[in-house]
């Protein structure tokens, strides 16, 4: 839902801050007052292209921002998260225009490409009328609306899963089939490579163990010398060893501690040191018993490491990766050796998935046709009440001519309409009259309101070419739609404006030799005055005001 819009230095708008509520909001004002400017500003936030004429004369830049409540729009929140544009707060969209024609777009404070702004805008606002944001013109939106009405969410998920499995299986089949010509050469190479690795018989973690052993054998003489000297100095050197000296000191300290008990801790520590030295000596003896200079083993380890590194260089990998490559090559060789069996298996699986897909797509098509029949009737009936007597709405559900499979099935879905009796239905995109198009959109939205994904709807020129009782019906429909969606309607008709939950007036004023546009939220009394003005007449009489007040009272019944 659109909560707030802020406009600075745009066209003839100096500054404007508007707060919006849910329900139906009417936008009224004299012709040329600037209602289209507000829609233009909103259009820029939805990704319209900008030009330097949009910047208010005398200003270097214009800025438009809007805040949307997306707390109930999980698909929007997910989109923002995928784009790393999510925020803990409401969604903020901002557009900055420079007088030199440059433009920048921001979502939740982060600069974004215009395409991202357009994608997000199409999930938040739908403008109905002679505007490019008319989502009902887009085939994918027509399909989505029909599927939502038919409650096809689960069948679509099932179809998508089958399609993706079929596509993956088919791709594997084609790859294996196309590789058949090169298979024999590849098998010969793989057999040679696998045989080399089989002969190497590299054990797990063998490379690290060999490298450690190689380093130890290469430095065996030095290690022997250092260990022997240390053992001699700390224990084996009879009277001169560290152990012997500590033992002497410990005996003296122990004797002295009988005189002064304060020496007892020092005596304990000397005894502990002697124990540590004894353990160290024992470890050094064990190490020296195991350590020996073995030139033959050294040559054996060095040769083994040489073979390993030769093969790793051949495969252009680290030595530690040889086992992994061995497994991969062995698996590939096995696959190629059994390619004919795998090819037949993949073809069978692909055919089975294709049949499942066609069956599911057929069920989906039947569900769509059934829902289309119901929608055709309801929307055509709604059109009769909106000044298009004899008009007909028809959703065409036909298998696509290309026969191409996809995640949405095999159907081409097109909304068609005839605005007048006796005329053939044509594509909704080819309806000439903006007013008729807006009213047809209104009829569609009325019937599918609960399935609608876009929370904010704007109807422009919805009252074009109608008046009297039909205008009141249009207003009632818009008000009913406003019970479940946020709806804005730009209107010149008091019958429509009186049905709104909220009312805003657009005014063009002259100030300091400049023309500016203002938009004000009207109080109940101000609404009576505005609707009285819309009812017409050079002079607004008490009778006119009474009529306006009566219209407002009737709208609330």
117/227 same-domain check? no
- What's the CA gap between 476 and 498, in Å, rounded? 9
254/318 same-domain check? yes
Q: Is residue 54 part of a domain?
A: yes
Contact predicate 63/3, CB 8 Å: no
Q: Is residue 266 part of a domain?
A: yes
192/113 same-domain check? no
Which among 504, 554, 557, 496 has a CA at the least distance from the CA of 527? Answer: 504
CATH number, domain at 544?
3.40.50.300
56/197 same-domain check? no
253/328 same-domain check? yes
Q: What domain range is 309 assigned to?
A: 183-337
Among 311, 337, 363, the domain boundary falls at 337
Which among 464, 400, 385, 517 has a CA at the least distance from the CA of 130? Answer: 464
Lay out the sheet containing 486-490: strands in order across.
Answer: 125-128, 456-460, 486-490, 24-29, 502-511, 514-521
| Residue ranges for the chain with pLDDT beneath 50 | 132
Residue 19, pLDDT score: 93
pTM here is 0.61
77/205 same-domain check? no
218/314 same-domain check? yes
47/118 same-domain check? yes
Q: Is residue 270 part of a domain?
A: yes
80/215 same-domain check? no
Q: Is residue 168 part of a domain?
A: no
16/125 same-domain check? yes
Quick: pLDDT tens for 162-210: 999 999 999 988 887 776 667 777 888 888 988 988 888 888 888 888 8
Q: Is residue 135 part of a domain?
A: no
121/237 same-domain check? no
Contact predicate 160/167, CB 8 Å: no
In the block, residue with structure tokens 């012997």: 244
Residue 33, pLDDT score: 60
Among 337, 358, 378, the domain boundary falls at 337
Contact predicate 41/496, CB 8 Å: no
194/73 same-domain check? no
- What's the CA gap between 291 and 52, in Å, rounded? 85
Among 314, 337, 360, the domain boundary falls at 337
Q: Is residue 188 part of a domain?
A: yes
Report residue 181 as tokens: 């010509």
Domains held by the chain: number: 2
Which among 557, 445, 555 has a CA at the least distance from the CA of 500? Answer: 555
- Give start and end residues of each alpha helix (H) in 385-420: none
- What's the CA gap between 534 and 548, in Å, rounded? 9
């Amino acid at each position: 839902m659109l909560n707030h819009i802020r406009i600075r230095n745009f066209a003839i708008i100096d500054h404007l801050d508007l707060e919006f509520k849910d329900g139906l909001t009417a936008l009224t004002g004299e012709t040329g007052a600037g209602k289209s400017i507000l829609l233009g500003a909103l259009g820029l936030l939805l990704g319209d292209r900008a030009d330097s004429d949009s910047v208010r004369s005398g200003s270097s830049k214009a800025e438009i921002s809007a805040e949307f409540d997306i707390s109930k729009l999980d698909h929007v929140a997910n989109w923002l998260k995928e784009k790393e544009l999510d925020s803990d707060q409401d969604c903020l969209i901002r557009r900055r225009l420079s007088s030199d024609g440059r433009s920048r777009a921001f979502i939740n404070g982060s600069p974004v490409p215009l395409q991202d702004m357009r994608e997000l805008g199409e999930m938040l606002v739908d403008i109905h009328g002679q505007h490019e944001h008319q989502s009902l013109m887009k085939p994918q939106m027509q399909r989505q609306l029909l599927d939502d009405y038919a409650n096809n969410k689960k069948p679509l998920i099932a179809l998508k899963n089958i399609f993706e499995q079929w596509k993956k299986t088919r791709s594997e089949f084609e790859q294996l089939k196309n590789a058949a010509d090169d298979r024999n050469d590849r098998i010969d190479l793989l057999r040679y490579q696998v045989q080399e690795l089989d002969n190497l018989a590299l054990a797990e973690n063998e490379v690290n163990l060999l490298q450690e052993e190689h380093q130890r054998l290469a430095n065996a003489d030095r290690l022997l010398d250092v260990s022997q000297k240390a053992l001699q100095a700390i224990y084996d050197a009879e009277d001169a060893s560290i152990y012997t000296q500590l033992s002497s000191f410990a005996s003296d300290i122990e004797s002295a501690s009988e005189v002064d008990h304060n020496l007892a801790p020092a005596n304990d520590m000397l005894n502990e040191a002697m124990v540590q030295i004894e353990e160290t000596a024992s470890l050094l003896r064990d190490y020296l018993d195991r350590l020996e200079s073995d030139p033959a083993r050294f040559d054996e380890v060095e040769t083994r490491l040489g073979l390993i590194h030769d093969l790793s260089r051949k495969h252009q990998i680290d030595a530690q990766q040889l086992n992994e490559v061995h497994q991969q090559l062995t698996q590939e060789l096995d696959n190629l050796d059994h390619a004919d069996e795998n090819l037949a298996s993949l073809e069978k699986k692909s055919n089975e998935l294709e049949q499942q897909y066609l069956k599911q797509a057929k069920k989906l098509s039947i569900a769509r046709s059934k829902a289309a029949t119901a929608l055709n009737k309801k929307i055509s009936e709604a059109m009769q009440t909106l000044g298009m007597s004899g008009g007909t709405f028809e959703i065409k559900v036909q298998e696509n001519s290309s026969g191409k499979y996809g995640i949405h099935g095999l159907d081409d879905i097109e909304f068609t309409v005839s605005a007048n009796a006796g005329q053939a239905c044509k594509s909704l995109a080819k309806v000439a009259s903006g007013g008729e198009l807006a009213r047809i959109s209104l009829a569609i939205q009325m019937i599918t309101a609960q399935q609608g994904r876009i929370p904010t709807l704007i109807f422009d020129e919805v009252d074009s070419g109608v008046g009297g009782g039909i205008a009141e019906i249009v207003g009632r429909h818009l008000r009913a739609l406003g019970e479940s969606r946020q709806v804005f309607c730009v209107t010149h008709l008091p019958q429509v404006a009186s049905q709104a939950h909220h009312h805003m007036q657009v005014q063009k004023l002259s100030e300091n030799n400049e023309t500016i546009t203002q938009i004000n939220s009207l109080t109940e009394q101000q609404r009576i005055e505005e609707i009285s003005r819309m009812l017409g007449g050079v002079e607004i009489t008490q009778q006119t005001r009474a009529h306006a007040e009566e219209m407002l009272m009737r709208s609330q019944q």
